[in-house]
Structure 1
Amino acid sequence: MDSQQTLRAQMRAVTISREYGSGGGEIARRLAAKLQWQLIDHDFVVRIAQTLGVSEHEVELQDEYSQSVMARILSSMRAVDPALLVDATSGQATTEEGYHQALVSVVEAVAREGHVVIVGRGAQKILERQRDVLHVRIVAPLEKRITYVVQRENLDRDAARNRILQKDRHRERYLQNYYHVNSSEPHLYDLVLNTGIIDMDSCADIISLALERKANRLTVAEHELGPGIGSPRYPSRPQDFRSPNNPL
């Protein structure tokens, strides 16, 4: 294992938050393959659902934050992997709050197992206090996202636009209800990438590099982190820029 791989191995997870249609899910897939880490995304949930006897069609009818089918899946994951420690017998996951707690338990459990790329599920908030997790946000201009969804999902542009807006609203509502934050809040993330400009493979490369660089800071004390550490003073007191038309 080379030094870069050794550094990355010290990190437990990458969380990928994304605007719908920005390609964030595909970037996560490429990143997981590049790192040889477990991908925790919609397809992962589908595989578990199939193990539990829930059809893929039922899962497709739900979003990642919806209650019914997803609650059954999450509350039953203990039967698939005891390490996930979700109590399937409590019945709590049949309520909205119970579902939320099951979701938190699953995200925390897979992060403890380590070397995972987690797509969505509010993981940027659930794991926000863990320094060995890299948080990434993928965005793109709406028109670019519409084009992507048209191509990927075989929809017309109006249907693609409506789907994007609906999905984005749903995700925002969940984050607002439980964490009182907007997914667009930049301080939730170590890195924000715009796929309207940067291609997906390059995004995966940049995230991999950021993962390595963050790992390199794990042993640095909290009070020694930040832009002020090691920065020299300005040679003179900085002045506000004065426009020629407004010199005062």
Structure 2
Amino acid sequence: MAVITISRQFGAGGRTLGEMIAKKLDYQFIDDLIVQELAEKANISTGFVKSMERTAGGTISKFTTGMLSSNYIERLVGEDKGYMDEHIYVELLHEVILEFAKMGNVVLLGRGGQYILHEFNNAYHILLVADLKSRIKFIQQFYDISDAKAAKVVKQGAARRSSLFKKFGKEDYDHPHLYHLVLNMSRLSLEQALKAIVALI
């Protein structure tokens, strides 16, 4: 009943490897399900949760009325109003990730799992790193986009990752002491990384 958290520098192959691990071990891969649970608990749309996660800073105050759907405005002022700010996001994220972890046999992608489950029994924390050139190449090849577009995507992904951890008040998210295993994906294939993680579990 292990739990595996995958943290990664954006473009290091975290989602792809996470799905490979889940398939190999017959675990459940958890990513978008976290967004769905957060939205349900806060009574807001999944789109709004994703918008918060995408936006640097992520605070609800940065969203103007003009950027919100009429659906959201109705919920905000109606009887079944929903609301989410940074504090609520982090609080609910802890709750949701713990719920999934208690299920066991899951692979959790990103969102601070290495912090939230730091003392959780039978949780294994993995960090994937890679140099910038390798990360751009990975995104370009796996998503069939231009080098320029891939470079932009990697830059935006890194900014979102930094923004998320600011919500946790953390800046040491790439420090090896947080993890059971750190893999340099510039020097390893996905298959080699998969074997190393399966051997650890």
Q: Same fold (TM over 0.5)?
A: yes
Cα pair 1:125 1:179 within 8 Å, conserved:
no
Distance 1:125 1:35, change over 3 A: same
- 1:26 paired with 2:21, answer no
Match of 2:153 in 1: 163
CA contact (8 A) 1:176 1:182 kept: no
* 1:132 alignment counterpart: 122
Note the C-alpha offset of 1:147.
1.1
Contact kept? 1:110, 1:116, Cα under 8 Å = yes
Residue equivalent to 2:163: 173
Is the contact between residue 4 and residue 126 of structure 2 (CA under 8 Å) also seen in structure 1? yes
Alpha-carbon distance between aligned partners in 2 of 1:41 and 1:19, rounded to the nearest angstrom: 16
The percentage of counterpart residues that share the same residue type is 28
Counterpart in the other structure of 1:113:
103
Report if aligned partners of 1:172, 1:182 keep a CA contact under 8 Å in 2: no
From the superposition, tell whether residues 63 and 148 of structure 1 become closer, same or farther in structure 2 (CA, over 3 Å): farther
Unaligned runs of at least 5 residues, structure 2: 61-79
Change (3 A) 1:150 1:63: farther
In the TM superposition, 1:67-78 aligns within 5 A as none
TM-score (norm 1): 0.62
Taking structure 2 as the reference length, the TM-score comes to 0.75
**Equivalence for 2:182:** 192
Contact 1:67 / 1:99 at 8 angstroms: preserved in 2? no
Q: Which one of 68, 71, 87 corresponds to residue 97 of structure 1?
A: 87
Letter of the 2:133 partner, please give it.
E
Distance 1:46 1:122 in 2: 14
Between the aligned partners of 1:181 and 1:90, the Cα distance in structure 2 is 34
Instruction: Quote the RMSD (CA, aligned, Å).
Output: 3.0
Check conservation: 2:9, 2:130, Cα contact below 8 A. yes
Q: Could you tell which deviates more after superposition, 172-181 or 199-208?
A: 172-181
Q: CA deviation at 1:168?
A: 1.0
Contact 2:130/2:186 (CA < 8 Å) preserved in 1? yes
Report the Cα distance in structure 2 between the residues aligned to 1:90 and 1:206, rounded to whole angstroms: 47
Measured in 2, the distance between the counterparts of 1:38 and 1:172 equals: 26
Whether the 8 Å CA contact 2:86–2:167 is kept in 1: the answer is: no
Establish whether residue 204 from structure 1 lines up as the match of residue 194 from structure 2.
yes
SS in 1 for 2:173: coil
- 8 A Cα contact 1:21 1:149, kept in partner: yes
More helix by share: 2
Number of aligned residues: 178
Shift of 1:67: 6.9
Q: Which has the higher contact order (CA 8 A, sep 6+)?
A: 2
User: CA separation of 1:182/1:64 partners in 2, compared to 1, >3 Å: closer, same or farther?
Assistant: farther
The 3 A distance-change label for structure 1 pair 31 and 149 is same
Name the CA shift for 1:29/1:126 in 2 (closer, same or farther; >3 Å).
same
- Of 140, 152, 163, 1:150 maps to 140
